[in-house]
Amino acid sequence: MHAILPLIQSGDFPAIIRGKLDTVQVNLGYRCNQACLHCHVNAGPKRKEMMSGETVDQVLELLRRAEVAGLDLTGGAPEMNRHFRYLVEAARELGVRVIDRCNLTILEEPGYEDLADFLAGQPVEIIASLPCYLEDNVDRQRGNGVFAASIRALGKLNRLGYGQGGSGLILNLVYNPQGPTLPPAQDQLEAVYRRELKARYDIVFNRLYALANMPIQRFGSTLVSNGAFEPYMRLLKSAHRDENLENVMCRSLISIDWQGYVHDCDFNQMLGLALGGRRRHITEIDATALTGEAIATADHCYGCTAGCGSSCGGALNP
């Protein structure tokens, strides 16, 4: 992070004002069973940062106070936090919609063999990373064998009802480019994914989200090493569209890090940018008072407004 942070300037990104809080996104820790090249968290098997049970309880207290609609769980691999299932069950008891940002391969790790059944039983919406429907492309970005394991995991989820019409079990996939380019039109790419995954592997899903790679952490370091950081930033800025500002995720979402500190989004979290530029812990947050606050921005925010736009829910204007 320290090699990239000086290159992310406050810049000239347009001012954004926060709307009503709808979703609490929680990073349960940076440990992951993978170490993907495009990871903006720099997650991996050796990371030690994991949210404590005390902080998980503070998240639940915020959910009770704020009466938000959604809890979005991310990492690392969020399922590797030992409090993951407790948090999911407690949030579902509150009537909160729970999203698990799943890397798919975790479903095959020792000790997680029953994870898919747990997710279906709650039920939890799954957003799963699958950056391509071709094996070579996925393994190049995420590691050898990842594609085959991901397909096996998707098949298991399909058999449980995920992605099947009328099941109520939502399975959305995530695409991101291989390098410093913008994603193609989401709707068109979704049609290709749907056709190819069905024909090749009999896999079905609900939606495809096309996300731009953010120029921070591991992906940002790769850009710097290849001399591509500044060209990529120029690309993002040149493709900026003002109409995307209305729907950026930070207007209705807050991001909580593993220690319980609050940020405007997961990307700001990785850069150490505090909520609205003021460091606050989850225990200090009054959700109703957040409406109308200014959002902390910097040049990386152009990654969310370039082209069709990019957010945790996919393209802003597909």
Q: Which two tokens stand for residue 11?
A: 């810049």
Q: What is the pLDDT of residue 214?
A: 84
Strand order in the sheet with 97-102: 207-210, 171-175, 125-129, 97-102, 70-74, 23-27, 253-256, 262-263
Q: What is the pLDDT of residue 45?
A: 76
Q: Which two tokens stand for residue 262?
A: 């609050």
Q: Architecture of 5-305 per CATH?
A: Alpha-Beta Barrel (3.20)
Query: What is the DSSP secondary-structure string of 191-228?
Result: HHHHHHHHHHH----SEEEE-PPPSSHHHHHHHHHTT-
Q: What is the pLDDT of residue 228?
A: 87
Under 8 Å between Cβ of 282 and 90: no
Q: What is the pLDDT of residue 87?
A: 98
DSSP state of 113: T
**Domain map of the chain by residue range?**
5-305
Q: Which of 32, 15, 7 is nearest to 248 (CA)?
A: 15
- Tokens 């495009």 identify what position? 38
Question: What is d(CA 286, CA 291) in angstroms, rounded to the nearest whole number?
Answer: 10
Q: What is the pLDDT of residue 3?
A: 39
Q: Which two tokens stand for residue 127?
A: 């957003």
Question: What is d(CA 315, CA 31) in angstroms, rounded to the nearest whole number?
Answer: 27
Write down the H helix ranges in 143-185. Answer: 146-160
Q: What is the pLDDT of residue 11?
A: 66
Residue 151, helix vs strand vs coil: helix
- Which pairing describes strands 125-129 and 97-102: parallel, antiparallel, or unpaired? parallel
Q: What is the pLDDT along the chain (318 residues), one digit of tens a residue?
A: 333 444 444 568 999 999 999 999 999 999 998 766 555 666 677 888 999 999 999 999 999 999 899 999 998 899 999 999 999 999 999 999 999 999 999 999 999 999 999 999 999 999 998 988 888 877 777 777 889 999 999 999 999 999 999 999 999 999 988 788 899 899 999 999 999 999 999 999 999 999 888 888 767 777 888 898 999 999 999 999 999 999 999 999 999 999 999 999 988 998 899 999 999 999 999 998 999 999 999 988 999 999 888 777 777 776
Q: What is the pLDDT of residue 35?
A: 63
